[in-house]
């Protein structure tokens, strides 16, 4: 599925302040390699249903073993192994014995300390990998997962690696053993170790996805193979919110354009981002923040949410809004299925101009039947001019005002909102009072 950099940021998959990103919230990896693979999975949403189902099956398999995941392999373990393999170590005797080991300890004390410390980490790593292999060995595994488990078994059948994997974690290796392992790991099995580190990183990324599914009670969506676009969800929520409100929503052939209205803070942007992020997660094979979701496979996801001006290039906010819409139109006329999310179109111009421009854009977009659109706006007046189009549905978020106190239900209702609360907020925050005293 095509997703550009702007869309990744708009729906908070990634964020320049990482703690505010969905990636960060769903990241349960402990190693740098695992995090790198997880990031790669998040930057490559699939366009092939077979691959999506394959990832779902991997995550479902790992879900049954979340609590059994080995704790021996830490980021420090991986870092130490990497460092040891590339360390400028004084030559280790090929066939270490008591005399050569004693000599090495005396003449190369610093390097022997490095060996002794590192081999413990290698033992931890291979012991942890053995536990993962044993967890999965007898299961009916999805193809990708089966391949990596078989590679782990094959590589770890080599005697030195098997010896380390069979340790209990309480052993104290003799100098001869330490030097024997040091030599074989660097001279004979360096590439094997590097491959196993990469395999573990991949497995840890999948484990992280499985743990996120369990921790946040995500559910796997059902993909419907059909030509027309479909998005049907019950109990959808935004995964970044602590106390989210759930939404039910259907966008389907014949009703593929949602015209969304409501006051500021009523919930429009949250709904749009919840839809976008859930569709994205579905296309990487993850569970989604919803009780139930049915959707078609989308070819692309495009957003127009956080447009900014560019002082350096002399580009105004409105100009960049126009360019983003232009780019959107150019992309979605390719005959493929797109999910297009637009939040508060044409905020960078006056109301009358914004209404005229918005109508022009909407009247054009509703002709595209093979994609799904959600567009939010404060310009509720233009809704009356769109009533004649059968494929537009109108929904809004209601705001109640009593004694300058705002009450948001965050519930979607049918129709168009004409709530105006800007002046109420200005008055409630004592800004009007402050101005009167000037």
Query: 340 pairs with which residues across the strands?
Result: 302, 373
User: How large is the greatest C-alpha to C-alpha distance in the chain, in angstroms?
Assistant: 94
Task: Select the CATH number that applies to the domain covering 222-436 from these four: 3.40.50.300, 1.10.565.10, 3.40.190.10, 3.30.300.30.
Answer: 3.40.50.300
Query: 339 pairs with which residues across the strands?
Result: 301, 372
pLDDT band at 295 (very low <50, low <70, confident <90, very high): very high
- Give pLDDT tens digits for 59-103: 999 998 999 999 899 999 999 999 999 999 999 998 889 999 999
- Give pLDDT tens digits for 219-256: 999 999 998 999 999 999 999 998 888 999 999 888 99
Residue 352 clears pLDDT 60, i.e. is over it: yes
C-alpha count within 13 angstroms, C-beta hemisphere, residue 325: 20
Q: What is the CA radius of gyration of the chain?
A: 28
Q: What kind of architecture, by CATH, is found in domain 27-215? A: Orthogonal Bundle (1.10)
Closest CA to 240 of 19, 58, 431: 19
**292 or 431, greater pLDDT:** 292
Nearest-5° Cα angle at 255, 271 to 389: 110
- Give pLDDT tens digits for 307-325: 665 544 545 777 888 888 9
% of the chain residues with pLDDT over 90: 65
Domain parsing of the chain, residue ranges: 27-215, 222-436
247-251 and 231-236 beta bridge pairing:
antiparallel
């Amino acid at each position: 599925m095509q997703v550009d950099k702007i869309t990744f940021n708009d729906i908070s998959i990634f964020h320049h302040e990482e703690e505010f990103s969905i990636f960060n919230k769903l990241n349960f990896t402990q190693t740098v390699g695992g995090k790198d693979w997880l990031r790669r999975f998040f930057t490559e949403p699939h366009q092939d249903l077979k691959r999506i189902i394959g990832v779902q099956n991997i995550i479902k398999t790992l879900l049954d073993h979340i609590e059994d995941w080995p704790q021996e392999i830490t980021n420090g373990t991986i870092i130490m192994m990497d460092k040891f393999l590339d360390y400028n170590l004084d030559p280790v005797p090929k066939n270490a014995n008591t005399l050569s080991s004693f000599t090495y300890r005396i003449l190369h004390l610093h390097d022997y300390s490095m060996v002794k410390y590192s081999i413990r980490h290698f033992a931890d790593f291979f012991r942890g990998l053995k536990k993962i292999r044993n967890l999965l060995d007898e299961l009916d595994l999805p193809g990708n997962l089966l391949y990596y488990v078989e590679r782990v078994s094959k590589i770890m059948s080599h005697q030195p690696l098997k010896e380390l994997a069979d340790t209990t974690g309480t052993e104290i290796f003799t100098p001869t053993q330490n030097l024997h392992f040091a030599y074989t790991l660097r001279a004979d099995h360096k590439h094997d170790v590097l491959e196993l580190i990469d395999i573990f990183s991949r497995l840890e990324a999948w484990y992280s996805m499985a743990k996120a599914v369990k921790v946040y009670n995500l559910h796997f969506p059902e993909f419907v193979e059909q030509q027309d676009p479909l998005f049907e969800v019950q109990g959808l929520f935004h995964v970044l919110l602590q106390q989210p409100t759930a939404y039910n929503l259907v966008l389907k052939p014949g009703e593929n354009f949602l015209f969304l209205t409501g006051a500021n803070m009523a919930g429009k942007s949250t709904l749009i981002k919840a839809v976008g992020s859930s569709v994205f997660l579905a296309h990487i094979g993850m569970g989604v923040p919803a009780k139930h979701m049915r959707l078609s496979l989308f070819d692309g996801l495009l957003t127009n949410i956080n447009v900014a001006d560019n002082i350096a290039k002399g580009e105004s906010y409105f100009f960049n809004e126009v360019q983003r819409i232009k780019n959107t139109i150019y992309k979605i006329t390719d005959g493929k299925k797109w999910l297009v999310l637009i939040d508060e179109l044409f905020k960078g111009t006056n109301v009358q101009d914004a209404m005229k421009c918005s109508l022009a854009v909407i009247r054009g977009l509703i002709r595209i039947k093979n994609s799904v659109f959600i567009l939010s706006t404060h310009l509720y007046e233009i809704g009356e001019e769109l009533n004649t189009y059968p494929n537009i549905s109108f929904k809004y978020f209601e705001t109640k005002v009593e004694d300058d106190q705002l009450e948001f239900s965050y519930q979607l209702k049918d129709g168009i909102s004409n709530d105006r609360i800007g002046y109420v907020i200005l008055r409630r925050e004592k800004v009007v009072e402050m101005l009167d005293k000037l």
